[in-house]
Amino acid sequence: MRFDVLTLFPEMFSGYLGQSLLKRAIDRGLVDVRVHNLRDWSQGRHQQVDDRPFGGGPGMVMMVGPVVEAVEQICRDDVTPARLVLLTPQGRRLRQPVVEELSGGPRLVLVCGRYEGFDQRVVDLLQPDEISIGDYVLNGGEVAAMVVIDAVMRLVPHVLGHAESSVDDSFSSGNRLLECAQYTRPRDYRGLTVPEVLLSGDHEAIAQWRAAQSRARTRQRRADLLEGEVGPT
């Protein structure tokens, strides 16, 4: 799967892209991530990509020209059909079904804004899929784009090994329970011990204990998941 990212801060992605799981997927040719600097599509000596809002008000707005022209060129430079995602606080909330939907195609073009957001005509012209990662205010779309890439690439076939398979992740379709508590060595740490059943070797009993744990945790912490609620959209 191919990801193209458009941003004014391409260097923000280098640490993330060098991370082992993603790096391995890139080296194996399973995913291809290209980061583009929006400033390359700016005009004039000042390389301006933002301007003051018509009607007044604080802050600056991302100009329509550089964004639209960058998206058009990037889409044109590879024939693979792309789905266009604009990260914005006004977007549809990212949830696992949305992640599954985005992972269905061969290519995502993710546009990251800064300042107070985009000139409305970016949306009017490009008709992107507007997505928000949650109800809190970020300084720009970059971190949100990394969240989208991170969640989507887990679903790209062969990115995860068999052991880490995403099919039984919490929130994957068909699983609406929180994960149960888990333990590794040592068996005793400062007097806190591992539940006896996990050491018993009784696979049936272990499965039952884990299922009960998941249900209890979900009831205590996320009752909304049990009520078949989808939550606010």
**134 lies in the site for ligand JCK, by CB under 6 A:** yes
- DSSP annotation of 219 reads H
CA angle 61, 67, 70 (to 5 degrees): 160
Cα distances (Å, whole numbers) of residue 1 to 4, 29, 31, 99, 101: 10, 9, 5, 14, 13
- DSSP annotation of 177 reads S
**133 lies in the site for ligand JCK, by CB under 6 A:** yes
**198 lies in the site for ligand JCK, by CB under 6 A:** no
Query: Is 89 a catalytic site residue?
Result: yes
The torsion defined by the Cα of 159, 164, 169 and 174, in degrees rounded to 10, comes to 80
Residue in 49, 64, 68, 88 binding ligand JCK, rule: CB under 6 A: 88
Query: Is 142 a catalytic site residue?
Result: no
Q: Tell me the one-letter amino acid at 231.
A: G
Under 8 Å between Cβ of 153 and 25: yes
Query: Is 76 a catalytic site residue?
Result: no
- Catalytic residue, chosen from 89, 95, 100, 179, is 89
The stretch among 24-32, 71-79, 140-148, 207-215 that binds ligand JCK (CB under 6 A) is: 140-148
Question: CB of residue 143 vs ligand JCK: minimum separation in angstroms?
Answer: 8
CA angle 230, 231, 233 (to 5 degrees): 95
**139 lies in the site for ligand JCK, by CB under 6 A:** yes
DSSP letters along 113-160, please? --TT-B-HHHHHHH--EEEES-SS--SSSHHHHHHHHHHHHTTSTTSS
The stretch among 3-11, 28-36, 43-51, 82-90 that binds ligand JCK (CB under 6 A) is: 82-90
Residue among 25 and 109 whose Cβ is closer to ligand JCK: 109
**113 lies in the site for ligand JCK, by CB under 6 A:** yes
Question: CB of residue 224 vs ligand JCK: minimum separation in angstroms?
Answer: 19
Residues that bind ligand JCK (CB under 6 A): 87-89, 91, 113-117, 132-134, 136-141, 144
Q: Which residues have a catalytic role annotated?
A: 89, 116, 154, 169
